Structure 1
Amino acid sequence: MPSGRIRWFDAKKGYGFIAGDDGKDVFLPQTALPQGVRNPRKGAKVEYSVIEGNRGQVAMGVTMVASAPSLVKATRPKPDDMAAIVEDLIKLLDSAGNGLRRHRYPSSADSRKLATLLRAVADDFDVQD
Structure 2
Amino acid sequence: MPTGKLKWFDTAKGYGFIKPDDGSPDVFLHLNKVTDANLPTLQPGAPLRYTLGRQGNKVFAQDLSLVPDEAVAPPPQPMIDSDADFETEFEKEWGL
Q: TM-score surpassing 0.5?
A: yes
Q: What are structure 2's unaligned runs of at least 5 residues?
A: 70-96
Task: Say how many residue pairs are matched.
Answer: 66
Larger Rg: 1
Offset of residue 54 of structure 1? 3.9
TM value normalised by structure 2: 0.61
TM-score by length of 1: 0.46
> Relative contact order: is structure 1 or structure 2 higher (C-alpha 8 Å, sep ≥ 6)?
2
Aligned match of 1:62: 64
Q: Distance in 2 between matches of 1:50 and 1:31?
A: 15
In the aligned structure 2, how far is the partner of 1:17 from the partner of 1:4? 10
Q: Render the CA deviation track for 1:89-116: whole Å, top value 9, x for unaligned.
A: xxxxxxxxxxxxxxxxxxxxxxxxxxxx
Instruction: Give the strand-richer structure, 1 or 2.
Output: 2
Q: Percent identity?
A: 36
- C-alpha separation in 2, matches of 1:6 and 1:60: 13
Query: Which residue of 30, 40, 43 maps to 2:42?
Result: 40
Contact 2:39 2:65 (8 Å CA) reproduced: no
More helix per residue:
1
Question: 2:91 matched to which residue of 1?
Answer: none
CA RMSD of aligned residues (A): 1.8
